[in-house]
């Protein structure tokens, strides 16, 4: 028997939506809203970026526990609007530099929101479409979360009890929370200029040595920090982003 109850999202779909929220959520754009006044259209876009990771989970909860069901024409229109807005916001975000990670985050988050809307269709067909649309975003969210222990273990291994810190290349100040260690928060948006001197790194590990410091570059390919023997040869030199301190990771806030 196929009925509304059977068309409700199952636990797996709820878990998928939860992983997307945990892997993608970013409140950093709020700092832009607290700065100088910006045009209303950009304010709306920023709020969309902030809220989007939570929409699939909100839709999954409503579809499972509330009687809300959207007609097919509304789902089609909503999916089209989501695709257009997602593409536009992603393109604007890439204007600072062509980054594969920006494209990955923007495109997969757009798929996740579209999948969330499909869960409100109230049919087994729309539920299957939702699961398909959310599959890649779920894997991306898992990868983003898996980066946290990878970064922590690599940093602890290389520091080996010495003072250390982790920061974004070219940004003064260390990372301040564990949430910043997620893959979708750790990457740089300026990876499009990969020449010998215009190469922006994702994140740097700075370790205090007896004769100075050693600088390490986070590599997503190796999923570990790799040596950076000549940090001063980059257009924006690496190694001054933060000051090494004992137990750096232990002092990080959760989010």
Q: Would the pLDDT of 195 be above 50?
A: no
Spatial CA neighbour of 235 closest among 203, 198, 200, 204: 198
Rounded-to-integer distance, Cα 17 and Cα 160, Å: 37
pLDDT above 70 covers a percentage of the chain that reads 91
Among 82-86, 128-132, 179-183, 191-195, the range scoring the smallest mean pLDDT is 191-195
Per-domain residue ranges of the chain: 11-146, 148-251
Q: Would the pLDDT of 235 be above 80?
A: no
What is the edge-to-edge ordering of all strands in the sheet holding 164-167?
164-167, 204-209, 212-219, 224-227
- DSSP helix/strand/coil, 215: strand
Spatial CA neighbour of 105 closest among 144, 148, 54: 144
Q: What is the mean pLDDT of residues 194-199?
A: 49
Spatial CA neighbour of 22 closest among 140, 133, 154, 189: 140
More confident residue, 28 or 149: 149
- 44-89 pLDDT, tens digit per residue, is 888 888 999 999 999 999 988 887 788 989 999 999 999 999 999 8
By the 10 Å C-beta count (0-12 exposed, 13-18 middle, 19+ buried), 94 is classed as: middle
Residues 6+ apart with CB under 8 A from 32: 38, 46
The sign of the torsion formed by the CA atoms of 236, 237, 238, 244 equals negative
- Confidence band, pLDDT 50/70/90 cuts, at residue 97: low
Average per-residue pLDDT for the chain: 88
For residue 12, how many C-alpha atoms fall within 13 Å in the half-sphere facing its CB? Answer: 7
- 108-155 pLDDT, tens digit per residue, is 999 999 999 999 988 888 889 999 999 999 999 999 999 999 999 999
pLDDT attached to residue 30: 75
Rounded-to-integer distance, Cα 212 and Cα 218, Å: 20
Q: Would the pLDDT of 15 be above 50?
A: yes
Record the pTM: 0.88
């Amino acid at each position: 028997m196929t009925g509304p109850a059977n068309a409700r999202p199952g636990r797996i779909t709820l878990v998928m939506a939860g992983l997307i929220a945990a892997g993608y959520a970013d409140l950093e754009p709020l700092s832009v809203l607290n700065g100088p006044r910006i045009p209303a259209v950009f304010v709306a876009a920023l709020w969309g970026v902030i809220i989007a990771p939570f929409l699939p989970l909100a839709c999954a909860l409503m579809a499972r526990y509330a009687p809300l069901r959207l007609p097919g024409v509304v789902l089609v229109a909503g999916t089209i609007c989501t695709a257009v807005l997602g593409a536009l916001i992603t393109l604007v975000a890439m204007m600072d530099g062509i980054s594969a990670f920006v494209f990955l985050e923007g495109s997969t988050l757009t798929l996740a929101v579209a999948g969330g809307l499909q869960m409100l269709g109230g049919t087994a067909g729309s539920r299957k479409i939702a699961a398909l649309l959310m599959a890649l975003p779920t894997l991306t969210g898992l990868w983003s979360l898996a980066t946290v222990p990878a970064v922590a273990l690599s940093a602890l291994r290389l520091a080996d009890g010495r003072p250390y810190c982790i920061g974004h290349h070219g940004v003064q100040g260390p990372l301040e929370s564990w949430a910043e260690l997620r893959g979708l928060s750790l990457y740089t948006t300026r990876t499009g200029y990969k020449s010998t001197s215009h190469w922006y790194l994702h994140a740097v590990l700075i370790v205090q040595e007896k004769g100075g410091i050693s600088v390490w570059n986070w590599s997503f390919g190796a999923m570990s920090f790799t040596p950076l023997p000549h940090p001063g040869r980059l257009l924006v030199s690496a190694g001054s982003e933060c000051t090494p301190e004992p137990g750096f990771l232990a002092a990080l806030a959760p989010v």
